[in-house]
Amino acid sequence: MIPVNTPLLDGNEKKYLIQAIEEGWISSEGPAVKEFEDKFSNIVKRKHGIAVCNGSIALDLAVFALGIKSGDEVILPAFTIVSPAAAIIRCGAKPILVDSNSENWNMDVNKVEEKITTRTKAILLVHIYGLPVDMQPLIELAKKYKLKIIEDAAEMHGQTYRGEPCGSFGDISTFSFYPNKHITTGEGGMIVCNDDALASRCRTLRNLAFVPEKRFIHYELGWNYRFTHLQALLGLAQLERLNEFVERKRKMGKFYNELLSDLTQKIEMPLESTSYADNIYWVYGIILKENIPFNAQEVIKRLTQEGIGCRPFFYPMHKQPVFNNMNWYINEKYPVAEKMAERGFYIPSGLALTEDQMKTVSEKLHKILV
């Protein structure tokens, strides 16, 4: 079986973890947490980094810390993982959905302004699959309507927009360190921002809302969303190789492009570049064209039988049963997001994937589609 993702952990990860065990540092009190926060935030040109236990929690804290509340609206792409929507809803607000751009698979920035109302408080953008959202139009809209920008850069380690790091554009931005990301700590996430008060708020909420000078006395309820010394050491070892990992991913994407170049009449492959970014191929996504008489689910089934691990694309927010059961989005249509969900999937593309394995993936995909 060729798995959909295998992380690359052949750097200093083992060395650092053994050292931690020998020294007895394992919890969130370990010094590596601060070191990792500082190094990561410096890479994305932010003043503050706040490490948390996963990327979804990073979104929860980011939305809550901005003061999003009941009755507010936050604009969100219809095509995304559920975590951003969940973070908005947990604050009592409602996600207002926008369809995708069919070329770069991200939020269609030209359809955002029409969704802004007097209740709109923020735009929560999600960079998708390897190319970033076109940020400049959103930054201009945020200034015009006095909105906050929440930037979900979970998949964008090492990516840039017009030469500036993804994660550097939001009033508050978040990352994930799940094993399929360019940088992994097993589980883990990071909030980054430049605002001192906002960073302090996130740190307090992350740690049960302890008051430093009066420990165990609480003026509000926080959460235990802490990040451990062991996770931080994994992250530090991974950060040492970030540029190498990005280069490796781009090389893998180009190799897949070559292997699958004769299937362009049958599949849509990831866009290699835009005017503002080159793809970093976080995953290698494929969308079946209309002349293929079956959907992505069927291809995934057949590839699995051939020993190839795959994943479907995100399922759109407006079609999620949990939201439809709340009587949300019942009659709303987002055709690009719907097509991507129905006909999109991604093939093995983890950092540890070899060229021979990629050739095997290509052969099996050809067997199904040709």
Task: Quick: pLDDT tens for 142-163.
Answer: 999 999 999 999 999 999 999 9
Virtual CA dihedral for 59, 62, 67, 69, nearest 10 degrees? 0
Give the pLDDT band of residue 214 (cuts 50, 70, 90): confident
Please determine, for residue 215, whether its predicted confidence score (pLDDT) is greater than 90.
no
Average pLDDT over residues 82-91: 98
3-state SS assignment for residue 349: coil
Q: Which of 155, 224, 225, 152 lies closest to 184, judged by CA?
A: 155
Give CA angle at 217 (212, 218), nearest 5°: 95
State the pLDDT at residue 279. Answer: 98
State the pLDDT at residue 283. Answer: 98
Contact 80, 128 (CB under 8 A): yes
- Our measurement of the distance from residue 23's CA atom to the centroid of its chain's CA atoms, rounded to an integer in Å, reads 34
Please determine, for residue 114, whether its predicted confidence score (pLDDT) is greater than 90.
yes
State the pLDDT at residue 211. Answer: 86
Global pTM value: 0.97
Average pLDDT over residues 233-253: 98
What are the CA-CA distances from residue 261 to residues 48, 142, 253, 266 (Å)?
43, 40, 12, 10
Q: All domains of the chain, ordered by start, with CATH?
A: 13-99+106-239 (3.40.640.10), 242-369 (3.90.1150.10)
Which residue do the tokens 């990327």 mark?
55
User: Mean of the per-residue pLDDT values for the chain?
Assistant: 97
What one-character DSSP code corresponds to residue 99?
P
Which tokens sit at 360?
A: 């095997």
The predicted-structure confidence for 265-280, as pLDDT tens digits, reads as follows 999 999 999 999 999 9
Give the pLDDT band of residue 169 (cuts 50, 70, 90): very high
Contact 255, 205 (CB under 8 A): no
Contact 61, 191 (CB under 8 A): yes
State the pLDDT at residue 218. Answer: 93
Please state, in angstroms and rounded to a whole number, the distance separating the CA atoms of residues 44 and 57: 20
Average pLDDT over residues 239-246: 98
Give the pLDDT band of residue 91 (cuts 50, 70, 90): very high
Contact 236, 33 (CB under 8 A): no
Please determine, for residue 164, whether its predicted confidence score (pLDDT) is greater than 90.
yes
With both helix axes pointing from N to C terminus, report the angle between 55-65 and 83-90 in degrees, rounded to the nearest 10.
Answer: 40
3-state SS assignment for residue 131: strand
* DSSP conformation letters of 133-169: --HHHHHHHHHHHT-EEEEE-TT-TT-EETTEETTSS
Residues paired with residue 49 on neighbouring β-strands, in sequence order: 192
Of the CA atoms within 13 Å of residue 239, those in its CB half-sphere come to: 20
Q: How many helices (H) and strands (E) does the chain have?
A: 12, 13
Please determine, for residue 52, whether its predicted confidence score (pLDDT) is greater than 90.
yes
State the pLDDT at residue 153. Answer: 98
Average pLDDT over residues 60-86: 98
Q: What are phi and psi of 121, to 5 degrees?
A: -115, -20
Average pLDDT over residues 70-76: 98
Q: Which of 316, 276, 303, 229 lies closest to 131, judged by CA?
A: 276
The predicted-structure confidence for 316-370, as pLDDT tens digits, reads as follows 999 999 999 999 999 999 999 999 999 999 999 999 999 999 999 999 999 999 9
Please determine, for residue 213, whether its predicted confidence score (pLDDT) is greater than 90.
no
